[in-house]
Chains A and B, each alone.
Chain A
Amino acid sequence: MKLGEVREVLGARVLTGEDLADREVKAAFAADLLSDVLAMVREEGVLLITGTVTTQVVRVAEVMNLAGVVFVRGKLPAKPVVDYAAAAGIPLLATPHTMYEACGLLYNRGLPPAKRKLLPYEHDQSGSPAS
């Protein structure tokens, strides 16, 4: 799915990265906890759906080479965060939908979930992680 389609499906506003509408989004991951994003997302080109609006969200997106970030629940980052993302080339979108709604809408349109890493203690358990 292209970033432009994500925008359309979510009725989202583009905060920065208007020029990146053609960027391909491979999969999506939703979390407010950045620690979980850092520990669990293992592919690049993933869209992050989050209600956390700090600078660290953009730094995590940079470090993990994410395709972009969608802020949910109408939450908006402060201007310095948007400026930093613009300089770093990380597209930021904002939607009034809740996280659950945003995930449902994108899932419905065929955007697959990001594969996540198993945690150390899961190696002993049978069954696969939620996918």
Chain B
Amino acid sequence: MISPAPLRHREIFPVVGLDLERAGLVSTEVQRVLRRLGVEPEAVRRAGIVCFEGEMNMVLYTPGGRIILLVYDDRVELIFSDRGAGIPDVELARQPGYSTAPDWARELGFGSGMGIPNMEANSDHLEIRSRLGEGTVIRAVILRRKDETRSGSTHS
């Protein structure tokens, strides 16, 4: 997906694994940055949800990593890279309801196996690259539609 649209903003946010107190702060900060840059509200909303799911995955399952925010005239990109154990079966992880979450994550209200499916539903393109023992990189692309108000690709 190569686009000639110029890059308007680039920012890197570190994510600390298992830090539940701060889990989700990057996502709210990303939304603030996007709003400040004048990104359309629907794209801000979708990027916030994609970022939150990605951030929670990093906090719950990995020692940490970083989230890179790239803002172009026509799209927002979020790149999540972690130093975790990797995803053994990416296709399985994309299936709604599939989860490897420990009980403590479920007690916090997460781990229902909707994280990656929800990232897909709220982005226009999602790439997952994972290596066992090395980590995972997820790239999400959210297109900026100047004229629409409807939500992500999963709509009735």
Contacts and interface: CB of A to CB of B under 8 A. Distances in A.
A42 interface: yes
Contacts of B96: 119-121
Interface stretch (A6-14, A16-24, A50-58, A98-106): A50-58
A62 B30 CA distance: 12
B121 interface: yes
Contact of A35 (B48, B109, B155, B156): B109
A39 B117 contact: yes
A85 to B, nearest CB: 12
Interface in B24-73: 24-25, 27-28, 31, 45, 48-49, 51-53, 56
A57 B117 CA distance: 20
Most buried by B among A33, A44, A59, A80: A59
Contacts, number: 92
The contact size tier of chain B is: 20 to 34
B110 A34 contact: yes
Contact of B111 (A35, A60, A65): A35
Contacts of B49: 38, 63-64
Contact of A129 (B112, B117, B156): B156
A46 to B, nearest CB: 12
A119 B108 CA distance: 22
Contacts of A88: 28
Interface of A: 32-36, 38-39, 42, 44, 52, 54-57, 59-60, 62-65, 80, 88, 115, 117-121, 128-129
Given A63-B49, A120-B121, 7 more contacts: A35-B114, A52-B108, A54-B108, A54-B109, A56-B23, A62-B28, A128-B156
